[in-house]
Structures are given as C-alpha cells and as structure tokens.
Amino acid sequence: MSKRVVVTGMGCISPLGNDVDSTWQNAIAGKSGIGPITKFDTTGFKTTIAAEVKDFDPNALFGRREVRRMDLVSLYALAAADQAVEHAALEINDDNRDQIGAVIGTGIGGISTLSDNVKILLEQGPARVSPFLIPRILPDSPGGMIAIHLGIRATNFAVVTACATGTNAIGESAEIIRRGQADVMLAGGSEFPIVPIAIAGMNIMGALSDSNEEPEKASRPFDANRNGFVMGEGAGVLVLESLEHAQARGARILAEITGYGSTNDAFHISAPAENGAGAAKCMQAALENANLPVDKIDYINAHGTSTKLNDKSETAAIKTVFGEHAYKLAVSSTKSMTGHLLGAAGALEALFCVNAITECVIPPTLNYQTPDPECDLDYVPNKSRTAQVDHAMSNSFGFGGHNATIILSRYNGDEK
C-alpha cells in the first residue's frame, strides 16, 4: 500500500509578502502586488508593469559571499525553504538527512544571470564572464543549493514544465514519498523572470497585459476585458512528509496531498486547446488518484492567467469534468493579485489552497467586473469568502501543453 502524504510546513517569497502570513493576509484582503517595473529601465517596452518582490535582502539572510554564487532564482528558493523547514519544526540531523530530499522547479532558471553575462561577453570579452555563470543559470541550482544549505541527501532534481512546474514538483515529490524513496520532501518552485529579455520575449508573443496606466487592475482573470497576464516573481516551498513520519515526530499536519494528475495537450507550443481537453483529463486523473467524486471538491485555485484563451479553455475543462457541480464550485485566480510566477506559480497557489482549508477562507479573483459569457462560473469576485473547504484543487498549465493538477484535502486522522 502506498504511503499517505501530508503537508507540515510552508514558506514563500512573493509579490504580496516575504513570508506566508503577510502573503496570505494580503491575498484575502484583495491587495494587488502589481506595479511599475523597478528592476530595469522599461523605456521602449510595450509592457512596463510586473508583480515584483519587495524589500528582499539576500545579503542579510545569507551573506554577500553566498549571494555572489547564486542567481535570485536560487536565493528566493533558499529563503522559502528555510521558512518552510522552520514552519514544519523539522530538525535536520545525521539521523534523518539521508531521507530528506527536494524537488524544486523553475520555468526559465537563471535567465537574469545569463542575460547579464551575454552583455559582459559582448562588451568586455570572455575573460570577464562570471566564474559562477554556469551554476547560477542551471535549473537544478535552486534545489541543489537548498540541499547544500540544509545538508539533505535524498533524491534531488528539478522539474521544468513551464508554468506547470510548481504543481508538478509537488505532485512528483508526493509520489517519491508514496513509494518509500524518502520520508520528507521539500517541494515547490522559484522564478526570477522580471528581466528585459523575458519581458521583451513575452511581449512579442502577445502574452503580457499592457494596461500600464492602472497596474493593480491589469491582471483580470475570467473578466471579459482581460488582455494578457502580468509577470510575477518569487518562490514557494512546501514540506511534505509521509503520514507515519509526521505522526512519529509529532508534527502539526496542515493538509493532505490526496490527488495528482499530469497530462499533455500535444496541441500547440504555447496555446491551450480551446476545449480544454488536456486540462480536463488532468483534473480527472487527479480526482481518480484521490478516489474522490466531483461533488467533493469545494474550491479550485485556477490557473487563471488573464489571457483570452487560457481562461476560456480552463472554464470549459472545469465544466467538462464537473458537470452541474461546476456551478456550485468556488473558482478563483490568485494571479489577479500575485501576477504569474511561471515555474513558481503552482507552489504559491498550493500554499493558498492549504490556507483555504486551514483558515476556511477562499481568496478572491481581483478585478472581475465584466462577465464573459464563455467564463460563467463562480470566480469569487473581488472579495474573499468564508467557507468550509475540505478538498481543494489547484491547476497549472504551461507552454508546451503541460498540465498538472493536485488535490489538497483536510486531514481527518485515519479517514482518507
């Protein structure tokens, strides 16, 4: 029999706050983390807004010497991991470090370091390129640096499935524990994509909102006037444990990972299938994995990017899977407040699902003002809602047709 997997700790660095509590409180208050880009000169750019992390000082956390070795994508992950381990009251020592692993994903890795060093190469020559270039840009560096920092020696690898990354990382970590390969896993994602080349690339694809005049209103998932997503940055990390391990050490159990699904559209490199067929199959797979009927799901944290195609196709997929129950579900997109954290999005949104379960509050979809006939579900518009959430679903869909869904459930002792 496979092992049950529970969540015992969480940490995050986000546009809404540099820890779980501030991020959650700002989310349920309906505050936006989106504003003008301050990280570079946006002259000439079509989009000049993003959801930036504020007041993050890695030097104070890790020291200048360590910071030189890492891109912000790794530093965000490291900070979130430290928070999660502390939140879980997890003591790491020689007796357990071989049974603690990490799966930390990223969509585009150390793109900031790569961009900066290409410029150095062209302007100053190859001798001036940073000796830390390669380890800083590798997508497995966030997880590898966490392992070095914490001294954990079980399996450690990166998931890279574009915007589905964070959810896949959590799902795969749960599977590792279920099959007995580790007792504890640090799972999540990290991203630092607010750099000129990434913004320019997304702009030329037509993916980003250019509602620069009112940044806090630019991300408007499921609204008829949505016009693209807003880039975000940060990291989210969850501590997952086998139920037996958590119970043996007297850990506080926040929620249980009960379902996981992963599929691919095999349709288009960046666009979802309009009918949401791949997403529907992914959600159905997660429900089957959890052995839950559709009417047990109380809340869906939607992928909800605020793009025309994604929101339409995700709504269609939810209706395909849930039928009439789709109209009884609460569905919200926290990207309306955090922007889209790409490879870290699913991790942060899993955190929101855990808190929705433990706090009995569903975060809102901000900026929902004009209904779209093709997006006709209950999107928890503009204000958070008090509600009992026993089972929450979190969806993440990425470029390349990647789909990932996890189900988080209230822990009820021996009842599964």
**pLDDT higher than threshold 60 for residue 286:** yes
Structure tokens given for 201: 């690339």
Q: For the segment 226-281, what is each residue's pLDDT rounded down to a tens digit?
A: 999 999 999 999 999 999 999 999 999 999 999 999 999 888 877 787 789 999 99
Average pLDDT over residues 377-394: 98
For 5-248, the fitting CATH number among 3.40.47.10, 3.10.20.30, 3.20.20.100, 1.20.1300.10 is 3.40.47.10
163 classed as catalytic: yes
Domains 5-248 and 260-409 share a fold: yes
Q: For the segment 298-309, what is each residue's pLDDT rounded down to a tens digit?
A: 999 999 999 999
CB atoms within 10 A of CB 64: 9
Q: Measured between alpha carbons, how far is 27 from 334 in angstroms, rounded to an integer?
A: 7
Handedness of CA 290, 295, 298, 303 (dihedral sign): positive
Residue 150: strand, helix, or coil: helix
The DSSP code for 414 is: T
Q: Which of 87, 245, 340, 402 is catalytic?
A: 340
Structure tokens given for 196: 């000129």
Spell out the alpha helix ranges (H) of 223-363: 243-248, 277-290, 308-322, 335-338, 345-359
Q: Which residues have C-beta within 8 Å of that of residue 45, sequence separation ≥ 6?
A: 196, 199, 200, 203
pLDDT band at 369; cut points 50, 70, 90: very high
Q: Measured between alpha carbons, how far is 149 from 133 in angstroms, rounded to an integer?
A: 19
The confidence score (pLDDT) of residue 127 equals: 98
Cβ–Cβ < 8 Å for 363, 232: no
Q: Measured between alpha carbons, how far is 169 from 147 in angstroms, rounded to an integer?
A: 16
Q: What is the mean pLDDT of the chain?
A: 97
pLDDT band at 416; cut points 50, 70, 90: low
- N-to-C CA span, the chain: 13
**pLDDT higher than threshold 90 for residue 72:** yes
Domains of the chain, by residue range, sit at: 5-248, 260-409
Q: Measured between alpha carbons, how far is 299 from 302 in angstroms, rounded to an integer?
A: 9
Q: Which residues have C-beta within 8 Å of that of residue 162, sequence separation ≥ 6?
A: 107, 342, 343, 398, 399, 400, 402
Q: Which of 12, 245, 282, 303 is catalytic?
A: 303
Q: For the segment 164-178, what is each residue's pLDDT rounded down to a tens digit?
A: 999 999 999 999 999
Measured CA to CA in angstroms, residue 67 lies from 58, 85, 148, 255, 258 at distances of 7, 20, 14, 33, 37
Q: What is the pTM of this model?
A: 0.97
Q: For the segment 21-36, what is each residue's pLDDT rounded down to a tens digit?
A: 999 999 999 999 999 9
Q: For the segment 4-57, what is each residue's pLDDT rounded down to a tens digit?
A: 999 999 999 999 999 999 999 999 999 999 999 999 999 999 999 999 999 999
Backbone angles phi, psi at 87, to 5 degrees: -60, -35
Which residues on neighbouring strands pair with residue 397, listed in sequence order? 403
Q: Which of 12, 87, 163, 282 is catalytic?
A: 163
Which residues on neighbouring strands pair with residue 186, listed in sequence order? 102, 239
Q: Which residues have C-beta within 8 Å of that of residue 307, sequence separation ≥ 6?
A: 207, 226, 228, 229
**pLDDT higher than threshold 80 for residue 107:** yes
- Percentage with pLDDT > 90 across the chain: 95
Q: Measured between alpha carbons, how far is 143 from 74 in angstroms, rounded to an integer?
A: 8
The DSSP code for 394 is: E
Q: Is the CATH code 2.170.8.10 the one for domain 260-409? A: no
Average pLDDT over residues 128-144: 97
Which range is least confidently modeled, 231-245, 255-269, 316-330, 369-383?
255-269
Average pLDDT over residues 184-204: 98
CB atoms within 10 A of CB 87: 20
Tell me the longest C-alpha to C-alpha distance in the chain: 64
pLDDT band at 71; cut points 50, 70, 90: very high
**pLDDT higher than threshold 90 for residue 1:** no
Average pLDDT over residues 315-338: 98
- Percentage with pLDDT > 70 across the chain: 99
12 classed as catalytic: no
The confidence score (pLDDT) of residue 269 equals: 78
375 classed as catalytic: no
**pLDDT higher than threshold 90 for residue 92:** yes
**pLDDT higher than threshold 60 for residue 291:** yes
The confidence score (pLDDT) of residue 414 equals: 66
Structure tokens given for 392: 């929450």
**pLDDT higher than threshold 70 for residue 193:** yes
